[in-house]
Structures are given as structure tokens and as C-alpha cells.
A and B are shown apart, each in its own frame.
Chain A
Amino acid sequence: MAVTPQLKLDAPKLRADFPIFEQLIHGKPLAFLDSAVTAQKPRQVLDAVRNFYETSYANVHRGVYTLSERATEAYEGARSTVARFLNASSSREIVFTRSATESLNLVAYAWALWNLRPGDVVVVTELDHHSNFVPWQFMARKTGATLRMIPVDDSGELDFSELEAFAADGNVKLVAAGLVSNSLGTINPIEHLASWAHDQGALMVVDAAQAAPHRRIDVQTLGADFLALSAHKLCGPTSVGALWARRELLEEMEPFNLGGHMIRKVSYEETTWGDVPGKFEAGTQPSAEAVGFGAAIEYLEAVGMESIEQHEQELAAYALDRLAEIPGITLYGPPAERRAGIVSFNVDGIHPHDVSQVLDWEGIAIRAGHHCCQPLMRKLGVTATNRASFYLYTVPDEIDRLVDGLVKVKEKLG
């Protein structure tokens, strides 16, 4: 097989695809350094959604008329695109959901609730987003299973030294971890953890919401049994996400939402379920959003996932170097080579809200808060951090502006 040369990504050129950058914020060009929370949308995605509504819109899987068939074809085409993006063996393994959060809740309600019992152990991590923590804490409490948490070490990486002790606590049934930390950018060794989980006879749930936009994912080699992602973080629309799961798991599971489309036959006495993935897609689906999801993936693939990953890694390394030049900045998380394009930090004595407020007046958008990771914040001994995060449209000049802005913050509030 020929090796494709890795092309360097041209961020200034890609920026022109994103209408949001055409405006000024407080009279300054927008430096959007909060792509970890959600990504901006290129014209190609906006046009795909508009085109679907203008030419092909009807409810999917309903009518036999032309428009309904066109809509169904576009919706199912998007499913195939997601399947190809994740290297799933079949598009039947892709369930469209409202978000990565809903994908994880689907696993919680349709698998964990039915399969966990007292004596079982559910393993989560201290690094994870609340969406991959709270459902497991809740289901453990509801089923009487034991919840155990993999701690993070001082560099913000998972510390696996207690895994054997967790196994001694009972029957490990489920392990849940994120592929990339939304808070610190840590890239977790999921293959290693999944292999341990499978040795215990447990299933591996992977939250890939923060990974899918930034690096290639291959569900056939990762070792996950369930994997959740959302469209909005990868330049797609809001309100649509996907769950990938091994087909036999989806076949065995009970449904999650109940209603239209997910049935095979309904009578007063009994209802039987439709085939996967329809069994999990009750009600009118976010079809236009799914079409936008597919268009976003095609946009990313045209840029090249490897180029995106390399670009963000360079930006993270640059940001870590530049931020370290400022006295009184505390940086959190692992070294640049083991993190995605996310940099969390604090400015001594100045609350993140105030940092981000002053930066906003410079046209710079960063996140200030706990990033839905309160267990991690507690470990770091803070209630909140500042977080700058990068994407394919981020240019080094924006990091320079961040550094200049932080110097100004310190002058004003330090």
C-alpha cells in the first residue's frame, strides 16, 4: 500500500470556510479558543443542512413518496459516513442519538440497568466528563453495584496501579473512560484499559466526544464495546450524536426510548422491537442534523484527520511554551506529546471568570469553569481552571494574542 504523504494543514485558508470569523467581537477579530466545548461550522456543513431542507426534506422511514425516499437516503447515507469514519464493520452498528451524553445514557439505561447487580463493580475515572461519570454512579447506586474510580496522577494521566484491587472488590462488569480528556487534553491508553476490562469479562465504554474531532478512531482495533460521539464538536450541527456498539450487544439489549419507528408489531397485548439500529431510534429523528453530521465528517476527511491531529499537537506544544513564559501561570496536564489541543491553566490569584472576562474584551474566547469535571477539579485542588482549546482553524497568532491578553489580565487584576 502506498504511503500517503502527510500534508500540513493550511489553517488560514480553512478559516475562510467559517462564516463566524467574518465578524469582530468588541472591535477585534475573533480568536475562538474554545473548540473543546463546541466547534464552529464551515459553510459546507451549513449548506448541506440548508440543501436538505430545501430539496429533500420529509420524515425519514415513513412515506413511500419521492421526498421521503430522498430524505431516508440522505439520513442513511450519513449513517454510512459515520460508520466509515469509525471503521465500523457495519452501518447497523451506528445509532443516531441527540448527543454523546444521550449515547452514554442509552448504554446506562438499556444495558447497565438490566445487567448490573450487587457484587458487580463499575470502574470510572477521575478524569472523565460528568456525562461519562454521573450515569455510572447513578446506575451503580440503583442496581447495588460498586463504583470504583481510577485516579489521575500529578501530570493528569490515569494511574492504573489500583486496577487489581478493583478486581478483588467483585465482578468487574463495566469500565467507562474517555479517549481524550476534555479538561486536560490527556490522551488515555484505551487499548490497554480495554484489554484489562476484557480480561475481567467486563465491557468497555468509551466516550470519544473529545477524541473524534481530532484524531482517527478505529473501533475494530480500539477495544471498545460501546463508543459515544457527538457532531457539534466536529464542525457538525448541535442535537445529533451517535453511539457505536458491537452489533450483538445492540441485538441483545432492550430499547431505550419507546414509541414510533422502533417497533416491529404492536398490539394491546404485546409489542415487539424492530431491527437494530431502528430499535433505538424512536420518534422523529434529527435527520437534517444527521445530514450535517455526515457533511462535517466529509469536511474533516478532506482536510485529513492526521493533518488535523498534527496541527493541534503543534499548537498545544507552542501554547505550553508560550504560557510557561508568563510568571505566575500554573499549567495542568501531561506533556504536549501525550495531549490533544487543549491547555488548562490558572493565573495565580485571579479567578478564571475574571481572566476570561478580560480576554473577551480582546476578542478572545476561552472557557472558564470546572469543564463538567468536578472530581478532577477537586483532585487539582481548584474549583475552576481556564482552558484554551484548538482546532483546524486555529492559527498561532491567536495563541500570541492569548499570551498578550494574559499579560494584560495580570496588569489589571493581579
Chain B
Amino acid sequence: MSEFDSLYREVILDHYKNPRGHGVIEGADASAEGQNPLCGDEVAIYVALGEDGETIDEVKFSGRGCAISQAATSMLTEMVQGRKAHDIATMPRDDLLEEIGIPLTPIRLKCALLGLGVLKVALHKAKGTPLPDEWAGLADELDFGTN
């Protein structure tokens, strides 16, 4: 497999060109926005919760980014649909990385994880879900980025 095909897998290109969950939820139950200070890419995440206040009914995202960040965030919106907010707050990043399934350098890893980090921050802000240290740094960055 060429280097191109191993990174830009067909599924990645499909999510990039036809992102799922792209858009805005007006009056979202949880939301956050952030940027990758390395490249200036921005992503905003919106979550609508079910009547139990726990189940993720819908997730949408907006913003600009590279194929990896857009595809990863698109895949994320599919992954978390119907799951509990608390589960997502504690979901290890490897769950998403396995789903993405491509070799990522440390720099591209930041692209791939931006959406998940912003989602965790959104849930933390709205629901007080735990935000482990690994993501707390991102929350600081996001706060800085959105000031």
C-alpha cells in the first residue's frame, strides 16, 4: 500500500468529502469550541441530550480543518451517537484512534484528536463530567484559543 493510501484510506476520504454530523445545533445542551494552536484550525461541537439528560441524541460539528481532523470528527459523531455522556467523558482516545485506523505522527495526532477533546470539554462544562489530566491541558488551550 502506498504512503498516500495508508493515511488517506478510502473511509477517511469518504468522511472528509461527505462529513457526517456537519452543522450546528441551535440551543444545544452542551457545546464548546477550540482551535489547534499549531495550525489555527477551529472546531465547534454541539450536543443534544435525550430526556434522561445523559444519552447523546445528536452531535454536530462545524469549523475548518484538514482531512484528518474533519474525518476524525465526522467519525466521532457517528461513534458517540446514543451513548451516555459519562461514557464519552471517560472514553480513551485509543477507541477513536482504532476507529480511524491510520498511522499518525505526533503532529497529525493533534489533528485527529481535536474533535474528541472539544467534545469532552463540552460535556465537562455542561454536565460536570470528569476531564482527566490528559484533556485538562487541552481545555486550557481551548479556553485560551477562544478568548
Chain A interfacial positions (CB closer than 8 Å to B): 26, 351-354, 357-358, 361, 368-370, 374, 377, 383-384, 412-413
Contacts and interface: CB of A to CB of B under 8 A. Distances in A.
B97 interface: no
Interface string B106-133: 0010010000000000000000000000
Interface in B39-66: 39-42, 64-66
B4 A353 contact: no
Contact of B39 (A358, A361, A383, A413): A383
Contacts of A383: 39-42, 64
Contacts of B4: 358, 361, 412
Nearest to B35: A383
A384 B66 CA distance: 10
B38 A369 contact: yes
Interface of B: 3-4, 7-8, 13, 38-42, 64-70, 108, 111
B40 A370 contact: yes
Given A353-B65, A370-B40, A412-B8, 16 more contacts: A26-B3, A351-B66, A352-B39, A353-B41, A353-B67, A353-B108, A353-B111, A357-B7, A368-B39, A383-B39, A383-B40, A383-B41, A384-B40, A384-B41, A412-B4, A413-B13
B42 to A, nearest CB: 6
Leading 4 A-B pairs by shortest Cβ distance: A353-B66, A351-B66, A370-B40, A383-B40
A369 B64 CA distance: 13
B1 to A, nearest CB: 13
Contacts, number: 49
A24 to B, nearest CB: 14
9 contacts: A351-B41, A351-B64, A351-B65, A351-B67, A353-B65, A383-B39, A383-B64, A412-B8, A413-B8
B3 A354 contact: no
Contacts of B69: 353
Contacts of A354: 8, 66-68
A219 B65 CA distance: 42
Given A361-B3, A383-B64, A369 B40 contact: yes
A260 B41 CA distance: 43
A368 B38 CA distance: 10
A361 B4 CA distance: 8
A87 B69 CA distance: 48
Contacts of B3: 26, 361
Contacts of A353: 39, 41, 65-69, 108, 111
Contacts of A377: 40
B32 to A, nearest CB: 18
Contacts of A26: 3
A351 B41 CA distance: 10
- B13, B40, B42, B111 interface centre (most CB from chain A within 10 Å): B40
A253 to B, nearest CB: 31
A49 B70 CA distance: 45
Contacts of B7: 357
A136 to B, nearest CB: 18
Contacts of B8: 354, 412-413
- Among A351, A369, A384, A413, residue most surrounded by chain B Cβ atoms (within 10 Å): A351
A353 B40 CA distance: 11
A76 B66 CA distance: 48
B100 to A, nearest CB: 15
A370 B67 contact: no
Nearest to A385: B40
Contacts of B41: 351, 353, 383-384
A374 B66 contact: no
B62 to A, nearest CB: 13
A413 B67 contact: yes
Nearest to B7: A357
Nearest to B105: A357
A102 B59 CA distance: 44
Contacts of A384: 39-41
A300 B111 CA distance: 38
Contacts of A412: 4, 8
A361 B6 CA distance: 12
B66 to A, nearest CB: 4
A26 B4 CA distance: 12
Nearest to A377: B40
Contacts of A358: 4
A280 to B, nearest CB: 30
B69 to A, nearest CB: 8
Contacts of B38: 369
Nearest to A368: B39
A278 to B, nearest CB: 37
Contacts of B67: 351, 353-354, 413
Nearest to A351: B66
A348 B40 CA distance: 18
Contacts of B64: 351, 383
B145 to A, nearest CB: 10
Nearest to A408: B4
A25 to B, nearest CB: 12
